[in-house]
Structure 1
């Protein structure tokens, strides 16, 4: 069978076989936990499988896998930081207000989804949007906190709303 006629599944299988060990080692050097590295390695290959990238056309498969892995690694640490901030906030609540483990899981998932939704927005725009939506602050209060004009806050909010409407899930 010619290279061009080889099915995509075989190309993926070959990529996985040839580079999984390398990728997992590469991730392990950047993480403190081998299990997390193994999970991220698998997630990387799942992303590659789900992508539109034609595996047979990869010139530098390790560079491509490292790029996908770096993105997943950044998301991993971002999520861990978000989870820790949430757990720190929970510790400040009176015991009767602390959510159940199921509620905590749902809240963490919602926080992660919100974080992903707002990813890519400038920090000031994110802050303005979150203060407005989560704390109920008015534009004047937000403008004072960010030390900008109310008109700028209106632009920020329009930018955030447009971003939320246009983001692909």
Structure 2
């Protein structure tokens, strides 16, 4: 075993039970807590912790866990909203469980992409795509000119194209 795997094994053994307990209290769900604890340590493998102080290690793990919880809750909200809207559709138009999983994952990726965009860009995109507003109406709503709305939409659509390429496996991060 090399030094990195030995230190990771020690870190995992020292903090896993504590982190699992922290996540169980936050999520109130045993299996979700186990999944997120696993994800936290996977992130730690990708960005090794150089800190040797026990308290700082836990602080770092708690920070990772907090971000994972926020992502988890956001994902659940998106999934619930989509399933609620899906429940209004006739049974014969319902997607298969596999299609549902793909759609939820895509919604999550689009939401994450929109969250990375400036507010006006994501707002313009949502107003156009979800509410069907014209560029003129969006400009009035955002208090900008139509030309700026065109720039916002171009920026959002570029990010959508990048996201589509990433989801299709054409881009490597």
Fold-level match, TM-score > 0.5? yes
Unaligned runs of 5+ in 1: 1-5
Q: What is the alpha-carbon distance in structure 1 between the residues aligned to residue 75 and residue 120 of structure 2?
A: 20
Give the 5 Å matches for 1:139-158. Answer: 139-146=135-142, 148-158=144-154
Per-residue Cα deviation, 1:135-155 (whole angstroms, up to 9, x for no partner): 765422433454543133123
Is it true that 1:14 corresponds to 2:10 in the alignment? yes
1:110 to 82, 106, 110: 106
Report if aligned partners of 2:24, 2:33 keep a CA contact under 8 Å in 1. Answer: yes
Distance 1:71 1:58, change over 3 A: farther
Calculate the TM-score normalised by the size of structure 2: 0.79
Q: What is the alpha-carbon distance in structure 2 between the residues aligned to residue 31 and residue 38 of structure 1?
A: 10
Unaligned runs of 5+ in 2: 167-171
Shift in Å at residue 28 of structure 1?
1.4
Aligned pairs, how many?
162
Q: What is the alpha-carbon distance in structure 1 between the residues aligned to residue 63 and residue 41 of structure 2?
A: 12
Calculate the TM-score normalised by the size of structure 1: 0.80
Q: Which residue of 2 aligns with 1:160?
A: 156
Report if aligned partners of 1:24, 1:37 keep a CA contact under 8 Å in 2. Answer: yes
The range that moved more, 55-64 or 27-36, is 55-64
The RMSD of aligned alpha carbons is 2.6
Give the 5 Å matches for 1:120-139. Answer: 120-132=116-128, 137-139=133-135
Q: Which residue of 2 aligns with 1:35?
A: 31
The range that moved more, 76-85 or 148-157, is 148-157
Report if aligned partners of 2:20, 2:33 keep a CA contact under 8 Å in 1. Answer: yes
